[in-house]
Amino acid sequence: MTIMTDPPNSGFRLSQLFSDTRYRSMTFQVIAFIALLLMFAYLGNNLINNLRAAGLNISYSFLGERAGYDLNQSLVPYDSESTHARAAIAGLLNTLLVAILSCVSATILGVTAGVLRLSNNWLVSKLMAVYVEIFRNIPVLIWLIIISTIVASSMPLPRAFRGEDATASMIFDAVAFTNRGVYIPKPLLEHGIFASASANWLLVLVVLGVSLFASTRVGRWANAQQEATGDRPQTLWINLGIFVVPFAVLMLIMGLTWDYPYLKGFNFTGGTQIGRPLIALWFALSIYTGAFIAENVRAGIQAVSKGQSEAAAALGLRQGRVMKLVILPQALRIIVPPLISQFLNITKNSSLAIAVGYADITATLGGITLNQTGRAIECVLLLMLFYLTASLMISGAMNLYNASIKLKER
Amino acid sequence: MSDQSTNSIAFVASGDIPQSPPPALEAGAVKWMRENLFSSIPNSILTLVALALIYKIGMNTIPWIANGVWNTKSLAECRDVLDGTVAGCFSVLTERWNQLLYGFKYPSDQYWRPNLALVLMLFAAAPVLFFDLPRKLLTFTAVYPFLAFWLIWGGPVITPIVALLGCAAAAWVFNKYGKANFALGFFGGIVAALIVWKITGFAIPESTDGTWLQAVASRDLGGFMLNLMLGVTCVSLSVPLGIALALGRQSSMPLIKGICVVFIEFIRGVPLITLLFVASVMLSYFFPPDATVDLFLRVVIMITMFSAAYIAEVIRGGLAALPKGQYEAADSLGLDYAQAMRLIILPQALKISIPGIVNVAVGLFKDTTLVSVISMFDLVGMIRGPILAATEWNGVYWELLGFAAVLFFIVCYGISQYSQWLERRLATDHR
């Protein structure tokens, strides 16, 4: 006996939108899209109503107005007559400056601490463990304030350099450590090729870049020679020449002189001042992030299996070369991705500058400019845009590097 | 032959040579030091440098702590007592103890309330942190947020009860329908909660006078209590949000995935300070004009979003670490998406991600100090603001900052030790 069943209903029922896997995901996405639109409409409506009630509007014209405040540190010419936009750019450059300085020093510190923590010297490895634990478990803001206080209280006042019985003295009459910051000589180009100083320095940078490019070409040539003949040509002197000769010639042509800081009244003038906030922020960020990097480095080195170092030792490599040629290249693949996120963290944590009075972009655009103009939404949006761009660029650049050292699998 | 050999041997040992102790250089502390401290010349130099460093730090801090003064009323008085010796004026801690812990506006006769809330929190957190405890204790954990809200903010007791009733209704609806159809249970639960709140909402009195517990405004919260409250609230709120974001990022629906990716990458790309700026100066523009959302709540919203993005990335790692066979096995059993996630995928993925979540939690707890930048008086805000600005204590940096550092170190180190214990405990594979 055959059982007759109805063929499946070919008509479309509304419930199929939820029960049929062919349509369900579309239904959910449409619902989500409508919900998103409704949410944005609600928030936007509230925003418009609130702005109208407060008599405000969204406008970026304040950026062209006079800022009227001074900055203690600026890489571009800036004074209180400059515009808010210029203050923001000065802050932006300050953020980049402290971020780059801290990334470099935190990496050096972190790699050193991470390698030392694996040292077979019991005391040193325990000391490094204590360093890592102490710095990882206390907020960076507290470290920042502590280090700022240390810098302020341990360095002499500028007036300690005065008089016959001065309690402090300048190093080589050129560098002065004071509690307002470190004063170092400032390089000046007497007769530059271009009219503006920044164009001249840009030329110096370009020359250095060309030298760097040439030296990588020399390195490649040396590698090729080594591959072909087995002997590696000496490249040290060639490289030194490539870097030193064009630079020296350029400096001679442009007439390099140094502007030394000197004591005038109760403070130093001349030279370049590396302000106390910058020093405090730089130290705090590098020493705090260094602890995290140390942990990443340790984990990376430990992840390389012991057989690798034993195999290298069996080939007759010395201890240093085992580390340089066998362990580190493999550990690097594990270390680099967390290192990228630590660099991102440094960039983001540099926004704490506001707590020690360093004029980074958060302190200028998000602090004084915001308070003076009352343009909260515009300022915060610009601030977020900057950090977002910086984060994406750092992670993009480092991902490129990561891809270049990745295991090439076929 | 044998005769010859016996004659040619001059000496034959007739008994055992008594065992002699190992050479002094190869035993005990000396051997240990030779191997671990002075194995080579660079190593010896490192050891000596380290010893010098430890000696220098110890000689500076130990007398400073040991000779500290604990019972004066001001810095000037303390300097008189010390009479030139270099030592800490820890009396700032004893004198401003309550301000450091509770802020300067919390009514001083009500300190037992946050204390009780903290003790109860330990009980509420215990069954979540230690799986061996009876599961029934989770009931208290579920009730705890309402209880803690009432204890800390005070006001009419009916407010947390109404909130609790709504949540209970939502849970009941979800339990009844959620097993068969997740979406129905979830949205039904939300509707049920809204209905209960609407019905019972009239019971909440307008005025806060004459209640059992004196009402305390959010802006009166401060000190280390504020750090703890922000940390605990934001972490517990951001875990479910983080799970949802992680699942959304793994979703096959392009729109849902897009929303989650943009949200996560946006939040992770900006520093917490800018989000706190949003909370303090910008967020109120997005609420209806008549809504009064206080700063504490706005900060909680932004920090929760911040940590949810990071937790989502951790959980995504856990989801990615699961073998594909687990997903296929769930499909072949005929489970739908919600069932597969709830019964098979998430329990394993969350287990893998617990250490990462704890790391995020520690980082978040440290980051709660940033609220001092938007002039909330947490522990760091209290130190930098009212205490160091007071004429009595102007200039006692080390004692105060050291205290804050020690307090944070204890909590954060404790949590990370717990995380390591948990990692060992959960390592059920690859023994």
CA distance to partner chain A, nearest, from residue B205 (Å): 28
Separation CA A222–CA A216 (nearest Å): 10
- Dihedral (C-alpha) B33, B36, B41, B46: value to the nearest 10 degrees? -100
Q: What DSSP character marks residue B290? A: T
Strand A186-189 versus strand A256-259 pairing type: antiparallel
Q: Which residue has the tokens 């055959």?
A: A2
**Residue of chain A whose alpha carbon sits nearest to that of B279:** A380
Residue with tokens 């208290």: B140
Which residues in chain A (290-309) have CB-CB distances under 8 A to chain B?
none
SS3 for B205?
coil
Chain A with chain B: Cβ pairs closer than 8 A = 153
Q: Do A145 and B51 touch (CB under 8 A)?
A: no
The tokens 């990588």 sit on which residue? Answer: A216
Which of B274, B284, B413 faces A383 most closely, judged by CB atoms? B274
CA-angle at A367, arms to A364 and A371, nearest 5°: 120
pLDDT tens sequence across A31-47: 889 999 999 999 999 88
What does the pLDDT read at residue A1?
A: 52
- Nearest-CA residue of chain B relative to A378? B282
Nearest to A148 by CA among A278, A286, A292, A291: A278
Name the pTM for this structure: 0.85
Q: A370: which chain B residues are within 8 Å (Cβ-Cβ)?
A: 277, 281
Give how far Cα B206 sits from Cα of A168, B155, B210, Å: 67, 10, 12
Residue A49, chain B, CB below 8 Å: the answer is yes
Structure tokens at B269: 């790309």
A244 vs B: CB within 8 A: no
At residue A144, the pLDDT reads 92
Query: Is A53 buried (19+), middle (13-18) or exposed (0-12) by CB count in 10 A?
Result: exposed
* Euclidean distance between CA atoms B149 and B157, whole angstroms: 10
Interface of A with B in 353-392 (CB under 8 A): 354-355, 362, 366, 370, 376-377, 380, 383-384, 387-388, 391-392
Q: What is the DSSP string of A211-257?
A: HHHHHHHHHHHHHHHHHHHS-PPP-HHHHHHHHHHHHHHHHHHHTEE
C-alpha Rg value of chain B to the nearest Å = 31
Using a CB-CB cut-off of 8 Å, the residues of chain A touching B372 are: 141, 355
- A27 to chain B, any CB pair closer than 8 A? The answer is no
B49, B61, B274, B379, best to mutate vs chain A, most A CBs in 10 Å = B274
Q: Give the residue from chain B lying closest to A348, CA to CA.
A: B271
Closest in B256, B289, B416 to A137, CB measured: B416
CB contact under 8 A, B54 and A351: no
Residue A186 sits at φ, ψ, to 5 deg, of -110, 125
Nearest CB to A47: which of B54, B285, B413? Answer: B285
Q: What share of chain A is helix, strand, coil (3-state, %, to 5)?
A: 70, 5, 25
Q: Is A123 on the interface with B (CB under 8 A)?
A: yes
Q: Per the CB < 8 Å rule, is A133 touching B272?
A: no
CA neighbor of A282 nearest in space, from A151, A136, A118, A89? A151
Q: Give pLDDT, residue B320.
A: 87
Predicted confidence at residue B356, as pLDDT, reads 87
CA distance A67 to chain B (A): 20
What's residue A3's pLDDT? 64
Interface check for A46 against chain B (CB to CB < 8 A): the answer is: yes
Interface mutation target, options A50, A51, A138, A370, chain B, most CBs of B under 10 Å? A138
From B373, which residue of chain A is nearest by alpha-carbon distance?
A355
CB contact under 8 A, B362 and A123: no
Task: Please give the residue of chain B at the shortest CA–CA distance from A42.
Answer: B286
Rounded CA separation A105/A337 (Å) = 18
Angle between helical axes of A84-117 and A376-405 (0-180°, round to 10): 40
d(CA A312, CA A325): 9
Please, how many CA atoms are within 13 Å of residue B300, restricted to the half-sphere of its CB?
17
Find the closest chain A residue to B384 by CA distance. A145
CB count, 10 Å around CB of A217? 11
Residues, chain B: 431
Token pair listed for A386: 């900057």
Closest approach of B32 to chain A, Cα-based (Å):
10
- Cβ-defined contact of A351 to B287 (cutoff 8 Å): no
Nearest-by-Cβ selection for B255 from A32, A121, A348: A32
Whether B286 sits inside 8 A of A47 (CB atoms) is yes
Nearest to A124 among B46, B370, B398 (CB): B46
Nearest to A251 by CA among A199, A195, A196, A200: A200
Phi, psi for A409 (deg, rounded to 5): -100, 145
Contact criterion met (CB below 8 Å) for B162 and B204 = yes
Is the separation of the CB atoms in B243 and B347 below 8 Å? no
Return d(Cα B134, Cα A191) in angstroms, integer: 82
**According to the model, what pLDDT value does residue A103 have?**
93
Residue B285: which of A203, B277, A66 has the closest Cα? B277
Residue B224 near residue B407, CB atoms below 8 Å: yes
pLDDT at residue number B108? 85
| Contact state of A139 with B366 under an 8 Å Cβ cutoff | yes
- Nearest residue of B to residue A394, measured between CA atoms: B269
Question: What pairing do the DSSP bridges indicate for beta strands A267-269 and A272-275?
Answer: unpaired
**CB < 8 Å to A33, chain B:** 255
The whole-angstrom distance between A224's CA and the closest CA on chain B is 36
Query: What pLDDT shows up at residue B430?
Result: 56
- Amino acid B225 reads M
Chain A residues with CB-CB distance to B274 below 8 A: 351, 362, 366, 380, 383-384, 387
Give the largest CA-CA distance in chain A: 122
Kindly report the length of chain A.
Answer: 410
Q: A385: nearest CA in chain B?
A: B270
Q: Cβ separation of B271 and A120 shorter than 8 Å?
A: no
**What stretches in chain A show pLDDT beneath 70?**
1-10, 159, 162-169, 265-266, 408-410
Task: Provide the residue-wise pLDDT of chain B in tens; the chain has 431 residues.
Answer: 455 555 667 788 888 888 888 887 777 888 888 888 887 888 888 889 989 999 999 998 898 888 888 888 888 888 888 887 888 888 888 888 888 898 888 888 888 899 999 999 998 988 888 878 888 888 888 889 999 998 888 888 888 888 888 899 999 998 888 777 777 888 888 999 899 888 887 777 776 666 778 888 888 888 999 999 999 999 999 999 999 999 999 888 889 999 999 999 999 999 999 999 989 888 888 888 777 788 899 999 999 999 999 999 999 988 988 888 998 999 999 888 888 888 889 988 888 888 889 889 999 999 999 999 888 898 999 988 888 888 888 878 888 999 999 999 999 999 989 888 888 887 766 54
Query: Which of B36, B272, B274 is facing A122, going by the closest CB pair?
Result: B36
Work out the percent of chain B whose per-residue pLDDT is above 70: 96
* Alpha carbons A368 and A349: distance in angstroms, whole number: 19
Residue A23, φ and ψ in degrees, nearest 5:
-105, -20
Which residues in chain B are contacts of A37 at CB distance < 8 A? none
